[in-house]
Amino acid sequence: GNVAHANISEEELNAAADVTGEILWTAKTMTVSAENISIVKNTFYHEGKEFSVIAVNSQPGQQQVESYFQAYILRYVGIIVLVFFAMTILVNVILSRWISRSVLVPLEKLRLGTKEIRDGNLDTEVDYHKDDEFGQVCRDFDEMREHLKQSVEQRLKGEKRRRDMIAGVSHDLRTPLTSISGYLDGLMDGIADTPEKRARYLKAMKIRTGDLKRLVDGLSEYTRLETGQIQCRLERGDLRTFLEEYIAGCREEAGRDQVTMILKADRDHYMVLMDEYELRRVFDNLLTNTVRYREKPQSQVEIWLTAKEEENRTEIVYKDDGPGVPEESLERIFEIFCRLDDARSQAGEGSGIGLAIVKEIVEAHGGSVRAENRDGLAVIILLPDAPEDREDS
């Protein structure tokens, strides 16, 4: 018959004929597979005409299969290798950036912070605030730096306090000793040549000796308080009753010093923890300070009691009508040997220890003390209230 369409090569057609022989042309339908070739034939009719379709699939040889394998597989392997290297490089870049941000950056900040501390700068914080392990390390480092800063500040304050104490003691000892030495020279050289002069010299020497004794006693007392050698025995007591008894007890002495004392309170009872003996010394020092530095011949002292229930504390305000203190010096007046006038050079004046002792005793009670100017000097003391079941300690 005639060939309507063909894409079978002559070699494939001859190979099919070799396998099937004449059957390829005479059979209507056929399916044959042999060696490396498969033949399919199918016959159909259209408009009275007969048509046959022959399909030949010749399998490639082993060498051809291997060449296909090498061509395709090696190509894909090359692509896979390239993709692997590209992914490796990308992962390395990402890991490097992550390590840089998460590890190297905080380590560098810690290194710089350590360098600042080594150079003596304790104010530089480590600026790393992420919520991870390094963030916790940086926060711990900052806490250590702050603790070290506070320790250094306390050490420097302690050294300054010791220097001030030595300077104050030296100055305060020098003044009465120089005076006593001068009077002794006068007695030995015969300058005091009358009984009246000798009596006057001896009286002056006694006054200066009293100044020395008060200075040494006050310094010894302050040292024992500061070093904790004196322990306050705190007992539950009524602060109003204590102050009423204190004012009554010192009324005669206060009268001789031209001092009027008034107690004002907003309730009947104020139960606090206190050592009455030590607290009496607090008010003795405050009263002495009022008389010593007043500018008027008479003084009025008001003591106010106020309950601070929300704080579980009682406030004591000791206020005199003296000259007060410069605002910039209010925080310093409780430091040892802090005096704001020429009292160092005045015989019989203060030693600069009294208010420092006040502060130590109040703090030993678990309280606090500060000073303000209120038409005179006001010393504000806060003492903790006593629990109902607390008797003593």
Helices assigned H by DSSP within the chain? 10-20, 23-26, 62-99, 105-118, 133-188, 195-226, 239-249, 251-256, 276-293, 354-364
Domain that holds residue 374: 232-393
Q: What is the pLDDT of residue 282?
A: 92
Residue 81 lies in a domain: no
DSSP track, 191-246: ---SHHHHHHHHHHHHHHHHHHHHHHHHHHHHHHHHTT-S----EEEEHHHHHHHH
Does 348 lie in the same domain as 322? Answer: yes
DSSP track, 254-268: HHHTTEEEEEEESSS
Domain with residue 312: its CATH number is 3.30.565.10
Q: Which residues pair with 40 in a beta bridge?
A: 31, 55
Distance CA(288)–CA(254), nearest Å, equals 10
Tally of domains within the chain: 3
Give me the tens of pLDDT residue by residue for the chain, a chain 393 residues long: 666 666 777 777 777 777 777 777 778 888 877 767 777 778 877 777 887 887 777 765 444 555 556 666 777 777 888 888 899 988 888 887 777 666 677 777 888 888 888 888 888 887 777 777 777 888 888 888 888 888 888 888 778 777 776 776 777 778 788 888 988 988 888 888 888 888 988 988 888 898 788 778 777 777 776 676 667 889 999 999 999 999 998 888 888 889 999 999 988 999 999 999 889 989 998 998 888 888 888 889 999 999 998 889 999 999 999 888 888 888 888 877 666 654 333 434 455 677 888 898 999 899 999 999 988 999 999 999 988 765 554
CA dihedral 359, 360, 364, 367 (to 10 degrees): 10
- Structure letter (DSSP) for residue 324: -
The closest of 378, 361, 359, 360 to 369, measured between CA atoms, is 359
Does 385 lie in the same domain as 257? Answer: yes
Strands 259-265 and 299-308: parallel
- Structure letter (DSSP) for residue 386: P
Task: Specify burial of residue 278 (Cβ count, 10 A radius: 0-12, 13-18, 19+).
Answer: buried
Does 374 lie in the same domain as 236? Answer: yes
Q: What is the pLDDT of residue 303?
A: 95
Does 254 lie in the same domain as 184? Answer: no
Q: What is the pLDDT of residue 379?
A: 95
Residue 98 lies in a domain: no
Does 213 lie in the same domain as 246? Answer: no
Residue 179 lies in a domain: yes
The closest of 232, 245, 236 to 363, measured between CA atoms, is 232
Does 157 lie in the same domain as 295? Answer: no
Does 241 lie in the same domain as 360? Answer: yes
Residue 105 lies in a domain: no
Does 309 lie in the same domain as 350? Answer: yes
Does 387 lie in the same domain as 241? Answer: yes
Q: What is the pLDDT of residue 271?
A: 94
Does 242 lie in the same domain as 223? Answer: no
Q: Which pTM value belongs to this model?
A: 0.55
Residue 115 lies in a domain: no
Judged by phi (left if over 0) then psi (alpha if -120 to 50, else beta), residue 324 lies in left
Q: In what side-by-side order are the strands of the sheet with 259-265?
A: 259-265, 299-308, 313-319, 377-384, 368-373
Q: What is the pLDDT of residue 225?
A: 66
Does 45 lie in the same domain as 132? Answer: no
